[in-house]
Structure 1
């Protein structure tokens, strides 16, 4: 199968969609990103990479970082983690306060904002302070992407903190239910920092290979999590990785995936490859409009769906 040719076909087919939708303008630092950009990359288990468009250009990964913090928290706490954060689809917007209120401060899953804030809090507790937790998160991301230069965009992190009232509200609400252990502002600031990591589609497609290979990086042979934990993360990505459009994504694409409001989406083909697509203009649910279509075309053309 000529994966490069398939990616080139997809790029041509999604070109008319570029610019449809809108960028995440509620984060001022992301408001000025050109919405017509597109990049897509595939990394096979042996490290072979394919890419089209701006697959080498770094962008704000945003909620894709939640996959990495969930991995670290699951490794640290095991099933105990589920006492503080669920693993069910939310069916509500990613920043809903209402659901959190009537479910007594236990977020539905680790991929909505409230869930990722709890996961970040658990890592700060586990590693002893926010600095060590963030350094560990960054070290992990650099390890799995095999890219030591991966860093945080301080302007994006600052921009999110200055306009992060709802996320602070979510954290305060959970604190009132005793589901945040550390100081709210510290936790939310750490959360914003790992969301402000910048990576390219090719780096991200490489970074998720451990989830395509049962928790072990197939290139370095470093085991990060158990096969069972990898299976669980993929399951939560499939059912919860696209907020209230997760069912739609499973229906159309049929792969475990996670989106971010920076326009990136990672996806995993177990036993085969990691994929990342990036196009900044989002649909109404906050997922990349052209990116979602590109992944649907990819699974249709290749037959690489889990269904």
Structure 2
């Protein structure tokens, strides 16, 4: 039986592992099919403190992992298919590892950006295709970009991108937008934002190194045409990776885990959540890392059974 298990190896899970390992909690970190999470799909990261000239996403994740391993965190590869929180210790069924027992659990399985699943999209991810304007907008100064989506997220991404790009074109498959009226009005009042509604994206085009265009189909006429662009931001929502929980934890209507305010505690004592799996607002590497720290301290407090603790001893 393990003392504490961390699910996920993004910034949240790895930060939790670093803190737990330094506190001699001997954490076991289970990484799934996409080790490192969304940062491994990112090229240059320039908004993570401490890197003056930026750092590549995979390199940042690799550094965090090595740091956790240095202090004694153990990494295992597997995919959690089922969890049982009905009694203690908690039980996890892990594909590749069998049944695993743990006294405490930190869930940092993240949220996956919904993708269009059209030709060229996956191949050019990180080479002009992005799912995060805050992360990658800076690289499109004085460029033309396309934002795909019609909800609040798409309007927010498009508005943010106008700080950098010369032109932002919103492509949506319907005539009507799903975004709230206030978000629509804000976007419509921005003269850098153009509109291309009732169009279905069917292919991302590139020259082998970067995005060059987006092929769309007019839903009324069936005609296809190409929108020339330097970048494509897919903003059709995120899906938290919580399916394996089978409703045992309190979540919102989308599936994000609900934690008690000011903590990472879930409705099940001993189970904690951090990173994008409980954050549908910020979804940044640095905020994920911060909640990973919080989860480690919360878990340590739980395991030691103390109401208060001098955290300075573990920093």
Q: Please indicate the TM-score interval, normalised by the length of the shorter structure.
A: under 0.3
With the length of structure 1 as denominator, give the TM-score of the two structures: 0.26
Q: Which structure has the bigger radius of gyration?
A: 2
How does the TM-score come out when normalised to structure 2?
0.25
**Richer in helix (by share):** 1
Higher strand share: 2
